[in-house]
Structure 1
């Protein structure tokens, strides 16, 4: 029996890319090269903005799905929004 085939980024490479790569190092370098100057840098989890929930008072963090309407978000969950 043959051993199972290893999956790596080299097996899924797009045409025209180098035959070998070092995984995430190449992807990170490509991301840095294509990043526009106006694009904000990634933040660590503890650096994300927080605000208190209007119902329970606990603070909750920014989530990506609230990008467009973060100022309008008042509740930490559907449960708190239902309890108003």
Structure 2
């Protein structure tokens, strides 16, 4: 755990709460996992997309954002496989 990562997580939690107009935010462990595969800007972008496209509970919006990031990761992996051929 780096101090920089802790700062990023706190920032993303606040950003999520502000973007989704809620007091709820993703758990620290969930954001740490998201940051394994995505940078802070990618997580922000997924949150913005999810907050505008998904209605309902804040946790549902986070699930939607996670799906977006998962699809991006799959796309990157597929592109890398294509380049290796």
> Which range, TM-score by smaller chain?
under 0.3
TM-score by length of 1: 0.25
Larger radius of gyration: 1
Greater length-normalized contact order (CA 8 Å, ≥ 6 residues apart)? 2
TM-score by length of 2: 0.25
